Structure 1
Amino acid sequence: MASEAFEAIVEDFEFLEEWEDRYRYVIEQGKAMDPLEDALKVTATKVDGCASQVWLHPQVTGGTFRFDGDSDAMIVRGLIAVLRALYNDMAVRDVPQVDAHGELARLGLNDHLSAQRSNGLRAMIERIRAVASEAA
């Protein structure tokens, strides 16, 4: 059920054998994102449970889910970019059905993130699912 954008990341990961290269790739994905406007970095968009500062700004338009996000940590910003590739432009009703942990496991992220980063990633996924479920 993964999007083409996410599948492209999976394919790119297959070519990167070293985890350090994959780590850099994730960071580069985050750098390529437009920053979230400061006006959107508010309590309502802040994700609790993350070691770093994380904001997610979801939008549902015409039944389609999208979100923008930002973080003060480069790797987390990259993880936001990966989640955007997984979820953006999906029908809002399909978002809660995505096995995000299974999809991310295809990248090997579970094995290479600290416990704090894994908890933060889980918190981001939970926020995305909650917003989508509420909007559906």
Structure 2
Amino acid sequence: MTLPTEAQAALDSFEQCSGWEQRARLLMQWGQRMPALDEHARTDANRVHGCESLVWLVAELKDGRWQFAASSDARLIRGLVALLLARVNGLTTEELQQVDLPAWFEQLGLSRQLSASRSNGLNAVLQRMRELALG
């Protein structure tokens, strides 16, 4: 499966990093670039449960392709969620069901830095995306 344009751009930029410090800085930049969610979208109904940090997620289907927007109160999580959004935005429902989260973060060189709780939280976000996509 071909990567969405933004996911390929993320992969290209992370492949240029020589070590964890550069990756961490780039991760924070991705989080800062993620558009902020409107306050009215930060509701309990949009909250992703299963994350230690607060994460909100909204979805919109445009021409058969999903567009997600998210926000988090934690800087590191915001960066990780931004990279997840880069990977899934523009996918169809079927493609979304096939996203391999561990493989994606492995490709980015970030999997070793994902603690079990962060990994579980990101899985919860992806699971919520899939639920929204399946209606």
Structures share fold, TM-score greater than 0.5: yes
CA distance in 1, matches of 2:83, 2:126: 11
Aligned residues: 134
- Counterpart position of 1:42: 43
| Deviation readout 1:62-119 (Å, 9 max, x if unpaired) | 2110100000001111111101110111223321122222122111222112222111
C-alpha contact 1:60 1:92 (8 A) present in aligned 2: no
CA distance in 2, matches of 1:20, 1:128: 30
- Counterpart position of 2:81: 80
- Counterpart position of 1:18: 19
Deviating more after overlay: 100-109 vs 120-129: 100-109
Unaligned runs of 5+ in 1: none
Moved over 3 A (4+): none
- Identical amino acids, percent of aligned pairs: 37
| Deviation readout 1:21-51 (Å, 9 max, x if unpaired) | 1011111111012110110011111011111
Unaligned runs of 5+ in 2: none
Structure 1-normalised TM-score?
A: 0.91
CA distance in 1, matches of 2:21, 2:28: 11
The RMSD of aligned alpha carbons is 1.3
AA of the residue aligned to 1:23? A
SS for the counterpart of 1:48 is coil
